Amino acid sequence: MLASIVEYINSKVFCNSSESENEMPENDVDTDNEEKRQRVSRKVEDFETGEANGKITSKAVTEKVGTVSSEVFTSPKWVRTSLPVPMIPRAEISVWSILKQCIGKELSKITMPVVFNEPLSFLQRLTEYMEYSILLKQADECDNPVDRIEYVAAFAVSALASNWERLGKPFNPLLGETYELVREDLGFKIICEQVSHHPPISAFYADSPHFTFSGSIHPKLKFWGKYVEIKPEGTLTVELLRGNTHSTNSENSKCETSSFLDIPNSVLLWQAEPRPSNSVEYYHFSLFTMSLNALVEDMRNTVAPTDSRLRPDIRYLEQGLLDMASSEKKRLEEKQRELRKRKTVWDNWLQRWFRQDENPYTKMPDWIFTNEYWKKNFSRCPDIF
């Protein structure tokens, strides 16, 4: 399915990143969109919410270009424009002295110094799929099935935008760890759960009035000296609700970069939003990513006690407290190792929000959402932190 989508994109769909001026198509649409961005950016208001949350905006901008309209949405109060402190410099640390021991090995099984992490769990990194979920809404609103597959293909490509220049490694999720994100301003909510430790498998389910997007991912990362091989194995399913159509993709591909291609008779469906001017200081995060680990006080009473936002090692790293982050990371890893020693508990671990069952489209085993999470009964959640 992925190969056919890429082939279709090469012949029909035109997508590019707006981060480089040399890659911008030279037409009036870009000029108009830049003027819109400037008008909207003047409306963004920043205010301080304390050390734990950095700068928060009371409004955020969702700017859609090309064939997608430009809209301004009122965003949650926890949407941020920066992290609490800039990224800790890695210049004085010998990266090679560590990485040379990792050649040919799977990185998820190697303990890396916390300085090489970014302050996100892999479950939060997985949620970055949803940054351009507006494309699925557009697909659902199309009457022409060819138009629908164009927007679904653009959505598949958009997931790569957040990877550009991102060198930090997300924290490995603990077994039973969860992450929820509700973005009413963008029209979706998503829940993720780490359903297996070895092999590491992350399951997720996102829904909106226009689509459902679900899957389970078993990421394999190997270092080969000059490059990192990323193989996100798993199954992803998109269901468009109005058109009663679905698309299923079995992920098993290398993630590579390519230069911009100007294809004759192509159509602009999507382009990546420019990153904030301070992105380099904050792990090369996009504006969407800046807010993924934001935690305001009332959240503590609404998210599950297993939510990634509550992981102390990630919170300490986000605040620049490297020693405390490293200490907590070791403590949590040791706590999980102790749990594994209790073989009866480990072998009978019960996934809380997903169950292993048959995928209704592929007829293959998959992790299926139980529809229980949003009832918010967290009385049986394990103590993992």
Per-residue pLDDT tens for 116-128?
A: 899 999 999 999 9
Of the ranges 86-100, 101-115, 198-212, the best mean pLDDT one: 198-212
- Where residue 79 falls among pLDDT bands split at 50, 70, 90? confident
Provide the phi-psi class of 178: left if phi over 0, else alpha when psi is between -120 and 50, else beta. beta
pLDDT of residue 338: 86
Per-residue pLDDT tens for 31-59?
A: 444 443 343 333 333 323 333 334 333 23
pLDDT of residue 385: 93
Is a pLDDT exceeding 90 seen at residue 135? yes
Share the mean pLDDT of the chain.
77
Q: What is the residue whose two structure tokens read 């351009």?
A: 132
pLDDT of residue 220: 72
Which pair of structure tokens corresponds to residue 343?
A: 């073989």
More confident residue, 306 or 104: 306
What is the share, in percent, of the chain residues with pLDDT greater than 90?
48
pLDDT of residue 127: 97
pLDDT of residue 97: 63
Average pLDDT, integer, range 268-273: 90
Average pLDDT, integer, range 96-102: 63
pLDDT of residue 285: 96
End-to-end CA separation in angstroms for the chain: 39
Per-residue pLDDT tens for 323-333?
A: 999 999 999 99
pLDDT of residue 168: 84
Q: Residue 141: enclosing H or E segment and its boundaries?
A: helix 134-141
Distances (CA, A) of 180 to 70, 193, 196, 300: 27, 9, 18, 12
- Where residue 15 falls among pLDDT bands split at 50, 70, 90? very low
Under 8 Å CB-to-CB from 183, ≥6 apart: which residues? Answer: 75, 76, 130, 189
Under 8 Å CB-to-CB from 176, ≥6 apart: which residues? Answer: 193, 194, 306, 349, 351, 352, 381, 382, 384
Within a 10 A sphere around the Cβ of 172, how many other Cβ atoms? 23
Per-residue pLDDT tens for 179-196?
A: 999 999 999 999 999 999
Of the ranges 55-64, 88-97, 196-205, the best mean pLDDT one: 196-205
Average pLDDT, integer, range 253-270: 63
